[in-house]
Structure 1
Amino acid sequence: MRRSNHVIGFLNFLTFLLSIPILGGGIWLSSRANNTDCMKFLQWPLIIIGVSIMVVSLAGFAGACYRNTFLMYLYLWAMFFVIATLLGFVIFAYVVTDKGSGRPVLNRVYLDYSLQDYSGWLADRVDSPGYWSKISSCIRDSHVCREMGSGCCKPPTSCGYVYINDTIWNPGGGLVGSDIDCARWNNDQEQLCYSCDSCKAGVLASLKKSWRKVSVINIVILILLVILYVVACAAFRHNKRIDNHEPYGDTRMEKSQPSRIHF
């Protein structure tokens, strides 16, 4: 029984360690939101999940050390819901970032972005006027044009503008393409292409890249959490089996006909 408690305690310690990269991923997304993505609500699910795993692991660790059945039940049920939530978040992240990517431009090192390439909940949220006003304001205040690339800091290539520098482009021979973003471009450093659909698509591309990086880590952690959870359940059942059939103290005695094992 002591060995089982040690196993459960060790597993909870490992679970506590696994919560650190999840929490770190949320904090990293938060820094990305402040610098490039400007979607500050996206990091909170990861931060909440990471903190929850830490708290639940501590409860399980205490339950194993003090052999507290209530804390162990609480740990197992809470960890089940945390794993289910993390799984749901990973699936959600892949679904909302499934479509869309930058379009290669002939003889250019940059990509063009089109809002038409993106669809779904995240694209609709970014495209909504009320929310985009907040995002574009964040991008403008963050001065991240070079990091955002062609989406917000240059007109689409099809517009035919002539390059002057990274954020100044002049119409080529007075001709401008038919893309609606061509008329939205402005050399004013406070305007540029912040109102362009290509800027919205650039934000979505940046979000997709950030979320996919975090999701890869989350998938690995999720697999490890499931393995640790299954082992913890087995150890807990072993403890219950001992409690049900091998009492402690001076009155301990062997049963001639042990009852059926209950889980």
Structure 2
Amino acid sequence: MFRLSNKLVGVLNLLTFLLSIPILAGGVWLSHHGTSDCDKFLQGPVIAIGVFLMAVSLAGLVGACCRNSLLLWVYLCVMFLLILVLFCFTIFAFVVTNKGAGEAVSGRGYKEYRLGDYSNWLQKRVDSGRNWDRIRSCLMDSKVCDSLQADNTNKTYDQFFRDSLSPLQSGCCKPPSECGFVYQSSTMWNKPAAGFTSNNTDCTTWTNDQSVLCYGCESCKAGFLANIKKDWKKVAVINIIFLVFLVVVYSVGCCAFRNNREDNAYPRWKGNP
């Protein structure tokens, strides 16, 4: 009778193999049909994840179902490394996202964000010109400011300042409040007649060009990091749950590996001594 642990490992890896097919297909599709920098940025990781899942699940599936101890040993080694990497990443995610928060502005329904409030590691990632060019391309493709642009002719000054803007909308779609710009519409702001009283470089970076706005501003990078911080916190919590699942699967895999060694050492057709 086929061992229960081998069955479980086989079923789990069959499901993982089936999951890897659409992931790999999605990466290949992006490589042929992706037009933006954002698409090109995503295609590599997606293909790598698909290939990795397919290879690991095949090793586990064949190792468990065909009683191949070598493949199952490779599978367990990869699983152990994956558990270790996920554990380290979870700790790292909590550490680098510990700093940084939006700053409330008096009389306004939204917060504003400063790049210097976040961890040095995150700052360096977005300050890299190459990285930010890709991120900015993704933000523009996602049409972050479109909802504000759609309200350009309908929203009054008071209505706009009562709005609850997302970190990206606050940082990328309008100039910082300290610059003193005069409100014209949600994404159209006039320079103050008396000039800028703030040394914030975002004051001169802002433009009413609707394809540029404040996508090159430090506040936009800070808004992006605010989103990253929130997302990484969620990912870290999910990782903890996933780690528990992986440890259980790893334990079952160890049982299957022990079964393989026993079955290979004492074939059942010979009978137990």
> What per-residue deviation string (whole Å, max 9, x for no partner) do you get for residues 100-138 of structure 1?
222222232222010111123231121133443443355
Corresponding position of 1:201: 222
1:16–1:53 Cα contact (<8 Å) kept:
no
Deviations 1:151-176 (A, max 9, x none): 11111122222322211123456353
Closer, same or farther in 2 for the Cα pair 1:95/1:18, shift >3 Å? Answer: farther
Sort the Cα spacing of 1:17 and 1:108 in 2 relative to 1 into closer, same or farther, 3 A: farther
| Residues 107-126 of structure 1 mapped to structure 2, 5 A cutoff | 107-126=107-126
Q: Which runs of 5+ in 1 are unaligned?
A: 255-263
1:153 counterpart (173, 181, 201):
173
Mark the runs of 5 or more structure 2 residues left unpaired by the alignment. Answer: 149-165
Deviation at 1:143, TM superposition (A): 3.4
Q: What residue in structure 2 maps to residue 249 of structure 1?
A: 269
> Do the aligned partners of residues 89 and 185 (structure 1) sit closer, same or farther apart at CA in structure 2, a change above 3 Å counting?
same
| Alignment correspondent of 1:167 | 187
Aligned partner letter, 1:230:
S
Matched, 1:60 2:81: no
Separation in structure 2 between the aligned mates of residue 83 and residue 50 of structure 1, nearest angstrom: 18
**SS of equivalent residue, structure 1 residue 169:** strand
Within 1, Cα distance between the matches of 2:97 and 2:42?
12
Q: Deviations over 1:156-207 (max 9, x none)?
A: 1222223222111234563533133223222222332222211111122222
**Structure-2 separation of matches of 1:199 and 1:54:** 38
Q: Structure 1 stretches (4+) deviating beyond 6 angstroms?
A: none
**In 1, Cα distance between the equivalents of 2:42 and 2:119?**
18
Instruction: Say if 2:156 is the partner of 1:135.
Output: no
Comparing 12-21 with 176-185, greater Cα deviation is found at 12-21
Please tell me whether residue 190 in structure 1 is matched to residue 190 in structure 2: no
Offset, 1:68 = 1.9
1:209 Cα shift? Answer: 2.7
SS in 1 for 2:209: coil
Q: Name the structure 1 match of 2:153.
A: none
AA in 1 matched with 2:242: I
Percent identity (aligned): 48
Q: Which residue pairs with 1:78 in the alignment?
A: 78
- In the alignment, the residues of structure 1 paired with residue 117 and residue 212 of structure 2 have an alpha-carbon distance, to the nearest angstrom, of 24
Question: Could you tell me whether the CA contact under 8 Å between 2:9 and 2:256 is conserved in 1?
Answer: no
What count of residue pairs does the alignment treat as equivalent?
240
Bigger shift: 171-180 or 113-122?
171-180
| Residue type of the alignment partner of 1:14 | L
Instruction: Spell out the pairing of 1:21-100 with structure 2 (5 A cutoff).
Output: 48-49=48-49, 51-100=51-100
Deviates more, 1:119-128 or 1:8-17: 8-17
Q: 1:195 to 1:237 in 2, by over 3 A?
A: same
Q: How has the CA–CA distance of structure 1 residues 141 and 229 changed in structure 2, closer, same or farther, with 3 Å as cutoff? A: closer
Partners in 2 of 1:39 and 1:217 — Cα distance? 25
Match for 1:233: what amino acid?
C
Q: Closer, same or farther in 2 for the Cα pair 1:18/1:226, shift >3 Å?
A: farther
Q: TM-score, normalised by structure 2?
A: 0.71
**Does the CA-based 8 Å contact 1:159-1:176 persist in structure 2?**
yes
Paired residues of 2:202 and 2:219 also in contact (CA < 8 A) = yes
Rounded Cα–Cα distance in structure 1 between residues aligned with 2:260 and 2:134: 54
Deviation per CA, 1:83-104: give whole Å up to 9, x if none: 2233334344444433222222
